[in-house]
Amino acid sequence: MTINVLFLAAEAEPFIKVGGLGDVAGALPIAINRLSNQLDSSPKVDIRMVIPFHFAIKQRGFKPKLIGEFGVHNRKGIVKCQVYHDDHLGIPVYLLDGEPVDEKSPVYAPDPILDGYKFVFFSMAALGLPTFLDWRMDILHGNDWHTAAAIYALKNFDMPPVHLSGAKTVHTLHNLPYMGFGVQQALMDYGLPPSRNPLLPEWARHTPLPLGLLHANQIVAVSPHYAEEILTPEFGCGLEDFLQTRTSALKGILNGLDTETWNPETDSEIIQNFSISNIVLRTKNKHHLQQKFDLLVSEETPLLTLISRMDPQKGIDIVLRGLQYCQDLPWQMIILGTGDPSVEKMARELESTYPDRVRTVIDFDNQLAHQLYAGADMFMMPSRYEPCGLSQMIAMRYGCIPIARATGGLVDTIEHISHRINGGTGFLFDKPYPSTFAQTLRRAIRLYQRPASWRKIQINGMQTDFSWEKSAQEYIDTYQHLVQEQQ
Ligand code: GLC
């Protein structure tokens, strides 16, 4: 049996990556394809990726092959969609173009109207693709709000085209607060009226993400813990009561990590490669950073790092304020990131307050990020919410111990260091308060002063399996289950 899966996302590596969605959309279909090719007994999965042919992809020099054109209906007539084809590590990728995509705008436009037309057109065009390719679709797999309209539209057909008939839907939630607000007109123009379903709050009946979640046969949050959190008022963004009605269709599947790119043994961006068997070499990376940033070169002083998009979600202010409660302790800190100007300003101010121990780099610097993972002792991840999170997994793989807020995927990937000797891979703190963070940092610094225990925790993290295979298997099981339900 072959299951045909159309995998839709707004961004995917290597074509374009803005955030974590791009990592996942670039890696998960590949992992599913690899696994399906390996297994004899399991179903085969013919997974095909679909992304918009963003202007930024053109600028980056990708030259996929134009394979044809078809029309997408909207209220004003027909909008043409050009289909480009490429291959990414063995799977077909379709890049869809057309007037609403071909705006010379960024991947995500600040204007919700432009964004709305782009992604609603994209979603509707993706539904035209199976017919265009003469390829029967068994599963439509959407991601985030940008592609949720496709799931709603599929349910809205009076008579679906034959290539779509009987298809089941999976929707992966990477970030609930981004629902696609303000795109009601685009939905209407493409023939998608508001829902009348009373389970949805009024405002959600014309908002793409909730509409997709209303009809998806399976909702997948990117971690089991996030799947539970979104059922509560703190994380549910007003959809918690509605989501409570969909719990039988909701589960969490943890994202994986690209363990080839992120491998301290082979990483060419770092000064000194290392592995569990020669972890002592890691110190060279730390000393290099201390020298490079003109900090005191010392093994006894723990070097902290924070590498993040500077966005309120990431809770960076919690760490910046919390450190002030820890002035009496030995620590140094290197901060790397860009984003919200007020957070950037706070990070710069911390450097002015502690010129002998803090360095702030307002930049996106991939190489420095690798070096920080490889050389720093502790990794700060104080997220207010974190559906899955990737950096904590990278940090653990590089022997940099995470100090993270106990939320979402951080809970599922970091094993909290309990009082049990030698257990755990990192520190989790509960409330998003500077004082709670500070208490946890104190504990971490105390433990750092016991090198043998510290080493054990580093090794626990480095041994953890974060590869994509496990997630890929869970998604394949999900597809199979849905397809069998149909019979
Ligand atoms: C979003 C979430 C992040 C998650 C990523 C990929 O960026 O904020 O937690 O890891 O999507 O699923």
Tokens of 426: 């990192």
Q: In 39-137, which residue ranges form alpha helices assigned H by DSSP?
A: 55-59, 112-133
Mean pLDDT within 103-114: 87
Helix locations, 354-390, DSSP H: 366-375
3-state secondary structure 147-193: HHHHHHHHHHCCCCCCCCCCCEEEEEECCCCCCCCCCHHHHHHCCCC
Q: Are residues 338 and 206 in the same domain?
A: no
Please choose from 146, 173, 179, 222 the residue to mutate so as to test ligand 1's pocket, defined by most ligand atoms within 8 A of CB: 222
CB of residue 26 inside a 6 A radius of ligand 1: no
CA 249 to chain centre: 21
Q: Decide if 416 is inside a domain.
A: yes
Note whether 413 and 480 are same-domain residues. Answer: no
Do 194 and 292 fall into the same domain?
no
Could you tell me if the CB of 253 is within 6 A of ligand 1?
no
| 269 belongs to a structural domain | no
- Indicate whether 399 and 348 sit together in one domain: yes
Reduced to 3 states (helix: H, G, I; strand: E, B; else coil), residue 52 is strand
CB 123 within 8 A of CB 147: yes
Q: Which residues partner with 5 through β-bridges? A: 47, 139
**Is 270 a domain residue?**
no
Q: Distance between CA 212 and CA 187 in Å, rounded?
A: 12
Name the band, by pLDDT with cuts 50, 70 and 90, for residue 419. Answer: low
Phi–psi pair at 45, nearest 5 degrees: -120, 120
For a pocket test of ligand 1, which of 13, 17, 21, 257 has the largest count of ligand atoms closer than 8 A to its C-beta? 21
Cβ burial, residue 278 (10 Å; 0-12/13-18/19+)? exposed
Same domain, 51 and 154: yes
Helix %, strand %, coil % for the chain, to 5?
A: 40, 20, 40
| Spacing, Cα 469 to ligand 1 middle (Å) | 18
Q: Which residues contact 342 (CB under 8 A, 6 or more apart)?
A: none
Asked whether the predicted pLDDT for residue 487 surpasses 60, the reply is no
Instruction: Name the band, by pLDDT with cuts 50, 70 and 90, for residue 344.
Output: very high
Q: What is the rounded distance in angstroms from the CA atom of residue 28 to the CA atom of residue 197? A: 33
The reply to whether 191 falls in a domain is: yes
Co-location of 158 and 29 in the same domain = yes
Q: What is the pLDDT of residues 163-207, one digit of tens each?
A: 999 999 999 999 999 999 999 999 999 999 999 999 999 999 999
How many beta carbons lie within 10 A of that of residue 123, not counting itself? 33
Alpha carbons 64 and 384: distance in angstroms, whole number: 39
| 402 is a domain residue | yes
The answer to whether residues 213 and 282 belong to one domain is no
In this structure, are residues 451 and 193 in contact, taking their beta carbons and an 8 Å threshold? Answer: no
pLDDT tens per residue across span 435-477: 999 999 999 999 999 999 999 999 999 999 999 999 999 999 9
Same domain, 295 and 386: yes
Per-residue pLDDT, 355: 97
pLDDT of residue 420: 61
pLDDT of residue 9: 98
Write the pLDDT tens digit of every residue in 268-300: 999 999 999 999 999 999 999 999 999 999 999
Contacts of 358 (CB under 8 A, 6+ apart): 332, 333, 334, 335, 350, 351
Is the distance from the beta carbon of residue 410 to the nearest atom of ligand 1 less than 6 Å? Answer: no
Beta-sheet strand order (sheet of 401-405): 358-362, 332-337, 303-307, 378-381, 401-405, 427-429
Residues 252 and 331 in one domain: no
Task: Give pLDDT, residue 423.
Answer: 84
346 with 472, same domain? no
Answer whether 387 contacts ligand 1 (Cβ < 6 A): yes
Q: The tokens of 347 are what?
A: 């990070």
106 and 139 share one domain: yes
10 Å Cβ neighbour count for 188?
Answer: 15
Domain CATH for 73: 3.40.50.2000
Do both 482 and 368 map to the same domain?
Answer: no
In a domain, 79, yes or no: yes
Q: Smallest Cα–Cα separation from 74: which of 5, 111, 123?
A: 123
Domain of 43, in residue numbers:
2-256+468-486
At residue 50, φ and ψ (nearest 5 deg) are -130, 125
Look at residue 165 and tell me if it is in a domain. yes
How far are the Cα atoms of 37, 117, 200, 419, 462 from residue 414, in angstroms, in the given order? 31, 39, 34, 15, 12
Q: Is the CB of 225 inside a 6 Å radius of any atom of ligand 1?
A: no
- The answer as to whether 268 is a domain residue is no
User: Could you tell me if the CB of 337 is within 6 A of ligand 1?
Assistant: no
Instruction: Tally the domains of the chain.
Output: 2
Question: Mean pLDDT, to the nearest integer, of 82-88?
Answer: 97
pLDDT of residue 422: 67
